[in-house]
């Protein structure tokens, strides 16, 4: 069904002169390219390559849905089967973006219905998706296979029912951490009895109870099911029954893991886990009782990713569990495991590459529990391959961070959140500048950095001087003057995303990046010292940037309270709500 592109165009003639091999060969070769970056590079070689690339591309990734329009997209890429779209600025996850800001998928779907009738896959992050859109998707795209919604909002379980009812070829339904209106679990019953194609089912984040019989029958008849993540309504003995039906699972999300089991039930559960030889990822376990955790030890031998970030485990429980997970590469935990638990991580997980420690009580400042610099240090001594860390803590020292990055120089993602804004090194009372200086000096591969604690411009001088591979930087309650932000804008050649809140950076800093923003995906600045005039100037000088200011009751006269700047080939937004001013 793919329309053939015209071979008689003058570009072809030129291409034949310039490239010694025929177009068909070029097509074949380019079709093998997967990486978006590679494809972008290929498309820039020549017109012939540009056209060969655009016809052969089947998957497109759009990091900012407003950087391009659906019309432009379908015009350039006629044969897309898979679309990945990201919408709102990341700080919308933390309630910094008002409701109804935009990033609605519907206008995209309308265009896709005409141009990509064979669309198979849609992966959305921070988009607004309505039930109406989900129903439209289910009805209009007969080949649709794979839906993934992460951190989206605007839909309800009714929309999921439409997907389940109409998508006959569905292989993936992945619903994660959305602002969803969870009306009932009845959507699960909507999969037809003769529907067997499901490979991925993730409804862990939904709260409504589902009909277990429906689920069991669904799991039983979908022989290719590889990923199953159930919600908290599923009990332990129900889980056991599911595992018996799907022993080839590679990823399991267990639900609450809470129930009183008879000894026989416990044995059955343990046996079921022993049968799961392919398990690589395990998650869920919220409200897990340490009484029953041992039941899953037999399934842990091949685990590479363990997500305990909703399971309030204590240090001993974690230690015992980790002893059974020798191949672990990624671990997410709650800070209930405390430093002692992290010591166990250092002792047991020598292959660990990624660690995320989430706070159990992020908003409680009185609390003494959680993790400290000791835990992080302990991990760094034992896990020398660590490259990704997200660490929420209430105290940190410069010395600790310096040691950590000496132990682990391979960091690509370093996200440290000292939860009290502007908190200094708790031992020396100095700013945390040297900590982040050490990070950027010792970790040449650093791509993503999030800073916190009391920081002066010196931190940003370090970043600008050393962080030459930095692509994403998140800053909050930091810096002393415009100079800080200028250092980063001038010093980091690969910077793509810069998000700043509550920092003393003003117009001078903003405008110092004039040349820079077109090479970046976006800039976010909120509660800084930028003014409307500064933003207007930026907009005037850089017509290919969208400079958007969000009105807010907190803003003072002339202040630009929330600023979102991004490059776009689609021009200013046509769907902006009244509180978004495009300058």
Partner 1 sequence: MEVSRKVAVDMLVGAELSLGLPGGAVEALRSCGKRGFSETAEVDLKLNFKAKESPRVDPCSFSKEKIQPDPAKPPAKAQVVGWPPVRSYRKNVMAHNDKNIGGQEEAATGKATLNGAATVLVKVSMDGAPYLRKVDLKTYKSYEELSHALGKMFCSITSGNYEDHQGMIDFMNENKLRDLLNSSDYVPTYQDKDGDWMLVGDVPWEMFVGSCKRLRITGPQQVCRNG
The yes or no reply on residue 208 touching partner 1 (CB under 8 A) is: no
| Number of Cβ within a 10 Å radius of residue 383 | 27
Of 59-67, 75-83, 182-190, 469-477, which part binds partner 1 (CB under 8 A)? 469-477
Q: How far is the CB of 269 from partner 1 (least distance, A)?
A: 12
Residues 521-560 contacting partner 1, CB under 8 A: 526-529, 554-556, 559
Q: Closest approach of Cβ 360 to partner 1, in Å?
A: 6
- Which residues within the stretch 150-169 sit at the binding site for partner 1 (CB under 8 A)? 151
Task: Note whether 264 binds partner 1 by CB under 8 A.
Answer: no
For the bound state, the minimum distance from the C-beta of residue 440 to partner 1, rounded and expressed in Å, comes to 20
Q: Which of 144, 187, 414, 477 binds partner 1 (CB under 8 A)?
A: 477
- Show the CA angle centred on residue 320, arms to residues 314 and 321, nearest 5°: 90
The answer to whether the CB of 151 falls within 8 A of the CB of 127 is no
SS3 content of the chain, % helix, strand, coil (to 5): 35, 20, 45
100: left (phi over 0), alpha (psi -120 to 50) or beta: left
Q: Looking at 102, 159, 284, 359, which residue binds partner 1 (CB under 8 A)?
A: 359
Q: Which residues contact 337 (CB under 8 A, 6 or more apart)?
A: 308, 313, 314, 315, 318, 344, 357, 371
- Please state, in angstroms and rounded to a whole number, the distance separating the CA atoms of residues 485 and 543: 22
Q: Does 419 bind partner 1 (CB under 8 A)?
A: yes
Which tokens belong to 282? 């395990």
Residue 33's SS3 state is: coil
Site for partner 1, residues 168 to 197, rule: CB under 8 A: 177-179
Under the criterion CB under 8 A, does residue 358 sit at the interface with partner 1? yes
Q: Which residue has the tokens 């159990």?
A: 360
Using CB under 8 A, which of 336, 412, 459, 546 touches partner 1? 336
Return the biggest CA–CA distance within the chain.
78
Identify the residue among 15, 42, 48, 96 touching partner 1 (CB under 8 A). 96
Q: Indicate which single residue of 182, 360, 410, 551 sits in contact with partner 1 (rule: CB under 8 A).
A: 360
Structure tokens at 422: 């502007």
Residue 132: DSSP 8-state: H
CB 182 within 8 A of CB 156: yes
Q: Which of 300, 417, 467, 535 forms a contact with partner 1 (CB under 8 A)?
A: 417
Selected binder of partner 1 within 72, 291, 323, 427 (CB under 8 A): 291
- Out of 205, 398, 412, 486, which residue is the one contacting partner 1 (CB under 8 A)? 205
Query: Shortest distance, CB of residue 563 to partner 1, whole angstroms?
Result: 13
User: C-beta of 258: minimal distance to partner 1 in Å?
Assistant: 7
Q: Distances from the Cα of 109 to the Cαs of 106, 116, 129, 132, in angstroms? A: 5, 9, 10, 11
Q: How far is the CB of 480 from partner 1 (least distance, A)?
A: 6
290 counts as binding partner 1 under rule CB under 8 A = yes
Tell whether residue 8 is a contact of partner 1 (CB under 8 A). no
How many helices, marked H, and strands, marked E, lie in the chain?
20, 23
C-alpha angle with apex 274: 270 to 279, nearest 5 degrees? 120
Work out which of 82, 217, 361, 508 binds partner 1, going by CB under 8 A. 361
Q: According to the binding rule CB under 8 A, does residue 132 interact with partner 1?
A: no
Give the rounded distance of the alpha carbon of 268 from its chain centre. Answer: 36
Distance from C-alpha of 160 to C-alpha of 86, rounded to nearest angstrom: 20
Tell me which residues in 219-238 interact with partner 1 (CB under 8 A). Answer: 235
State which of residues 14, 71, 114, 316 lies at the interface with partner 1 (CB under 8 A): 316
Nearest to partner 1 of 234, 439 (CB atom): 234
Q: Which helix (H) or strand (E) holds 508?
A: helix 507-512
Site for partner 1 in 13-72 (CB under 8 A): none
Return the number of the residue (294 or 326) whose C-beta is nearest partner 1: 294
Kindly state the helix (H) or strand (E) to which residue 466 belongs, with its residue range: helix 457-466
């Amino acid at each position: 069904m793919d329309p053939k592109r015209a071979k008689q165009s003058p570009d072809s003639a030129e291409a034949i002169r310039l490239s010694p091999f025929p177009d068909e060969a070029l097509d074949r070769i380019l079709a093998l390219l997967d990486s978006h970056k590679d494809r972008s590079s290929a498309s820039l070689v020549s017109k012939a390559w540009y056209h060969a690339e655009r016809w052969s591309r089947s998957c497109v990734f759009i990091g900012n849905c407003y950087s391009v329009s659906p019309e432009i997209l379908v015009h350039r890429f006629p044969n897309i089967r898979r679309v990945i779209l990201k919408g709102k600025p990341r700080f919308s996850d933390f309630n910094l973006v008002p409701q109804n800001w935009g990033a609605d998928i519907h206008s995209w779907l309308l265009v896709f219905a005409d141009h990509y009738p064979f669309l198979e896959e849609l992966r959305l992050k921070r988009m607004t998706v309505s039930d109406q859109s989900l129903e439209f998707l289910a009805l209009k795209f007969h080949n649709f296979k794979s839906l993934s919604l992460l951190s989206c909002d605007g839909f309800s379980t009714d929309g999921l029912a439409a997907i389940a009812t109409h998508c006959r070829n569905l292989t993936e339904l992945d619903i994660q951490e959305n602002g969803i209106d969870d009306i009932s679990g009845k959507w699960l019953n909507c999969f037809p009895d003769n529907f067997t194609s499901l490979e991925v089912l993730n409804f862990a984040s939904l709260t409504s109870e589902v009909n277990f019989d429906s689920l069991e029958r669904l799991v039983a008849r979908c022989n290719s099911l590889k990923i199953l993540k159930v919600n908290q309504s599923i009990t332990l003995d129900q889980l056991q029954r599911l595992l018996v039906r799907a022993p080839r699972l590679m990823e399991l999300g267990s639900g609450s893991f809470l129930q009183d089991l008879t000894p026989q039930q416990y044995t059955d559960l343990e046996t079921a886990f022993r049968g799961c030889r392919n398990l690589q990822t395990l998650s869920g376990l919220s409200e897990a009782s340490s009484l029953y955790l041992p039941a899953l030890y037999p399934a842990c031998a091949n685990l590479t990713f363990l997500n305990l970030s909703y399971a309030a485990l204590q240090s001993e429980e974690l230690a015992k569990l980790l002893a059974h997970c020798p191949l672990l590469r990624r671990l997410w935990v709650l800070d209930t495991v405390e430093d002692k638990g992290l010591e166990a991580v250092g002792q047991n997980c020598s292959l660990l590459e990624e660690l995320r420690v989430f706070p159990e009580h992020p908003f409680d400042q009185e609390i003494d529990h959680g993790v400290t610099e000791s835990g992080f240090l302990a991990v760094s001594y034992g896990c020398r391959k660590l490259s990704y860390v997200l660490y929420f803590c209430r105290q940190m020292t410069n010395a600790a961070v310096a040691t950590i990055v000496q132990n682990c120089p391979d960091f690509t993602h370093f996200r440290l959140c000292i939860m009290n804004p502007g908190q200094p090194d708790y031992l020396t009372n100095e700013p945390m500048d040297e900590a982040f200086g050490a990070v950027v000096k010792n970790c040449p591969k650093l791509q993503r950095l999030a800073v916190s604690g009391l920081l002066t411009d010196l931190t940003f001088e370090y970043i600008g001087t050393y962080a030459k591979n930095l692509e994403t930087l998140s800053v909050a309650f930091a810096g002393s003057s415009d100079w800080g932000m200028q250092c980063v804008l001038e010093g980091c050649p690969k910077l793509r995303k810069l998000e700043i809140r509550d920092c003393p950076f003003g117009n001078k800093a903003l405008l110092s990046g004039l040349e820079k923003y077109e090479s970046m995906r976006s800039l976010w600045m909120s509660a800084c010292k930028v003014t409307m005039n500064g933003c207007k100037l930026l907009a005037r000088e850089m017509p290919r940037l969208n400079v958007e200011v969000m009105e807010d009751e907190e803003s003072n006269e002339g202040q630009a309270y929330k600023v979102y700047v991004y490059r776009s080939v689609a021009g200013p937004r046509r769907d902006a709500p009244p509180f978004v001013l495009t300058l």
